[in-house]
Amino acid sequence: MNLQAPALDLSGISKSYPGARALDDVSLRLMPGEVHALVGENGAGKSTLIKIASGAIQADSGTVSVDGSVVANASRRAFQALGIRVIYQERQIARDLSVGENVMLDRLPGTGLVSWRRTMSEASERLAVLGLELDPRSSVRGLSVAQWQLIEIARAVDYGARAIIMDEPTASLSRVEVERLFDVVNALRARGVAVLYISHHLDEIFHLADTVTVLRDGRQVFNGAVAGLTPDQLVNEMFGEVSHTVDRTDSCNRDGGPAISLVDVHAGTRVRGVSCEIYPGEVVGFTGGTGSGTTELAALLVGARRPSSGSVVLGGGRRLRSRTGAASAVAFLPSDRKRRGLLLDKTIADNLLLGRLAVPGPPVVMPRRQRKVATMLMKAANVKSDSADRGVRTLSGGNQQKVIIGRWMEVGTPVLVFDEPTAGIDIPSKMEIYATLRRLANEGAAIVVCSTDFQEVGLVTDRVFVMRDGRIVGEVAGALASEQRLIEMEMSA
* Binding footprint of other proteins on the chain (CB under 8 A): 17-18, 51, 56-57, 90-93, 95, 141-145, 147-148, 267-268, 295, 299, 302, 304-306, 308, 323-328, 331-332, 334, 336, 338-346, 350, 353-355, 357-359, 361-367, 371, 389, 391, 393-394, 407
CB of 297 to other proteins, least distance (A): 12
CB of 147 to other proteins, least distance (A): 8
Residue 113 and residue 303: Cα distance in Å, rounded?
Answer: 50
- SS3 assignment, position 124: helix
Q: Which is nearer to other proteins, 393 or 439 (CB)?
A: 393
* One-character DSSP codes across 444-480: T-EEEEEES-HHHHHHH-SEEEEEETTEEEEEEEGGG
Amino acid 245 reads T
Residue 218 and residue 40: Cα distance in Å, rounded?
Answer: 9
Q: Which is nearer to other proteins, 15 or 216 (CB)?
A: 15
Residue 34 and residue 185: Cα distance in Å, rounded?
Answer: 10
Q: How many CB atoms lie within 10 A of CB 314?
A: 18
The answer to whether the beta carbons of residues 99 and 177 sit under 8 Å apart is: no
CB of 92 to other proteins, least distance (A): 8
CA 121 to each of CA 108, 129, 143: distance values in angstroms, whole numbers, following the listed order: 12, 13, 20
CB of 112 to other proteins, least distance (A): 27
For residue 58, which of 70, 74, 81, 42 has the smallest C-alpha distance?
74
CB of 361 to other proteins, least distance (A): 6
Q: Which is nearer to other proteins, 407 or 463 (CB)?
A: 407
CB of 139 to other proteins, least distance (A): 10
* One-character DSSP codes across 160-202: T-SEEEEESTTTT--HHHHHHHHHHHHHHHHTT-EEEEE-S-H
CB of 229 to other proteins, least distance (A): 33
Q: Which is nearer to other proteins, 408 or 462 (CB)?
A: 408
The answer to whether the beta carbons of residues 35 and 197 sit under 8 Å apart is: yes
CB of 309 to other proteins, least distance (A): 11
Q: Which is nearer to other proteins, 102 or 211 (CB)?
A: 102
Q: Which is nearer to other proteins, 327 or 425 (CB)?
A: 327
Q: Which is nearer to other proteins, 72 or 343 (CB)?
A: 343
CB of 299 to other proteins, least distance (A): 6
The answer to whether the beta carbons of residues 218 and 43 sit under 8 Å apart is: no
Look at the chain and count its residues.
493
CB of 474 to other proteins, least distance (A): 26
CA 460 to each of CA 38, 253, 364, 433, 478: distance values in angstroms, whole numbers, following the listed order: 28, 18, 39, 10, 7
* One-character DSSP codes across 199-261: -S-HHHHHHH-SEEEEEETTEEEEEEESTT--HHHHHHHHHSS-------------TT--SEE
Q: Which is nearer to other proteins, 290 or 442 (CB)?
A: 290
Residue 204 and residue 105: Cα distance in Å, rounded?
Answer: 28
Q: For the CA atoms of 288, 292, 296, 297, what is the dihedral angle to 10 degrees?
A: -50
Sequence-distant (6+) residues with CB within 8 A of 148 are 91, 93, 140
Q: Which is nearer to other proteins, 270 or 438 (CB)?
A: 270
Q: Which is nearer to other proteins, 57 or 435 (CB)?
A: 57
